[in-house]
Structure formats: C-alpha cells, structure tokens
Amino acid sequence: MKAIVTVMLKPGVLDPQGKAIAHALGTLGFAGVNDVRAGKVIELELTETDPVRARAQAEDMARKLLANTVIESFRVQVDG
C-alpha cells in the first residue's frame, strides 16, 4: 500500500527556498505569482494492507522523522 506524506512549513515560518523560487519565476517572466511555499513529498511503499493502519503508520513516521513538527505540518494520503 502506498502512503504519500506531504510536508510543508507552517504558516508564518520564513521560507527562503520559496522566496528564491518566486524571485526566479519573476525574472523568467512569470507574472502574477504573489507567494511560493516549498515543501517535500515522500512516497512510502508499505506492506500494511489495512488503509487505517497504513495511515497510522505513516503519520507516526512523519511525527518521529519525516517532519519537524515544531515548524512543519504534514498530511498523509493512503492509496490502496
């Protein structure tokens, strides 16, 4: 079963990578981009077959390793 963990900086946390991307997009002529937030996507292939348990495992992994929960939030999507 695949679990997808998306990790993003929490609102209000400075995102220098997002600012650099927004600036680069502007210099490339892409107008109308007001703000960019950069994050990461982690795909996990789990042996668990129960979607509820797979989600719980992925959330536990995110809390313990994949996200710094002080400054980052995360969401988990499980695909059967």
| Amino acid identity for residue 69 in this structure | T
pLDDT band at 80 (very low <50, low <70, confident <90, very high): confident
CATH no. for residue 41? Answer: 3.30.1280.10
Q: For residue 70, give its domain range.
A: 2-79
Distance CA 18, CA 25 (A): 11
Q: Which residues contact 1 (CB under 8 A, 6 or more apart)?
A: 45, 46, 47, 48, 49, 51, 54, 78, 79, 80
Domain count, the chain: 1
Residue 63 pLDDT more than 90? yes
Average model confidence (pLDDT) for the chain? 97
Give the position of tokens 């990578």: 17
